[in-house]
Amino acid sequence: MLSVPGGQWLALPTSKIFTRSKAFRMTETTPAPWHEIVRERLKANEVKLVPYVPDRVFTPLIKALHADDYFTTVPCTREEEAIGIVAGAWMGGLHAAVLMQTSGFGTIPNALASLVLPSQIPALIFVSERGTLGEFNLGQAMVCRTMRPVLESLGIEHHTITRHDELAFIVDRSIKQAIATQAPVTFILSPLLTGGKVFAA
């Protein structure tokens, strides 16, 4: 069950893996992984369309959305293409969220400034944060530094989500706010939440 607000985690039945040893048996429930919470909150807010550009860290979320018939998933060749799809879908009455990684965000300021903002499109933008907390690629680290200044300069609401227990609340409330105020919102999913991508030596 998920309680919003209140901070109670989305809970799934106790996994069988925990029943193999009494020492590890869990008497209550295991918190749902972050991607299940995102999927559930999208569904709860009738966000049915998800165009995306792939990202390693987002892979479990993308797989879950593909596997769920509720969602229409559209792999895109470029992030601003996904933004265009979100804009068209919303004007046609369909709520949509877009998934990308930090470097992809670096390609969309023109689409935000010349389409989403002037037309008041409530684009829901999920960014897998690269470039920090153990980044091994200087290119990712540099582009990461541009993301929040761009969001600030455009006046776009954005949340960096680091805590599992705040994820459902932030996503749920912010989707509702975006739609109610016809303004975009960006969710930056920190490695603190997702685990991030680590260098494989």
Question: Which residue ranges make up the site for other proteins (CB under 8 A)?
Answer: 49, 72, 74-78, 80-94, 96, 110-111, 113-115, 118-121
Q: Is 115 or 144 the residue whose CB approaches other proteins more closely?
A: 115
Q: How many CB atoms lie within 10 A of CB 106?
A: 16
Q: Is 79 or 129 the residue whose CB approaches other proteins more closely?
A: 79
- Paired with 167 in beta bridges are none
Closest distance of CB 87 from other proteins, Å: 6
Q: Is 60 or 88 the residue whose CB approaches other proteins more closely?
A: 88
3-state secondary structure of 28: coil
Q: Exposed, middle or buried: residue 99 (CB in 10 Å: 0-12, 13-18, 19+)?
A: buried
The amino acid that residue 6 corresponds to is G
Q: Is 74 or 154 the residue whose CB approaches other proteins more closely?
A: 74
Closest distance of CB 97 from other proteins, Å: 12
Q: Is 31 or 88 the residue whose CB approaches other proteins more closely?
A: 88
Question: Residue by residue, what is the 3-state secondary structure of 118-171?
Answer: CCCCCCEEEEECCCCCCCCCHHHHHHHHHHHHHHHHHCCEEEEECCHHHHHHHH
Closest distance of CB 21 from other proteins, Å: 47
Closest distance of CB 171 from other proteins, Å: 22
Closest distance of CB 57 from other proteins, Å: 22
| Region for 30 from its dihedrals, namely left if φ exceeds 0, alpha if ψ lies in -120 to 50, beta otherwise | beta
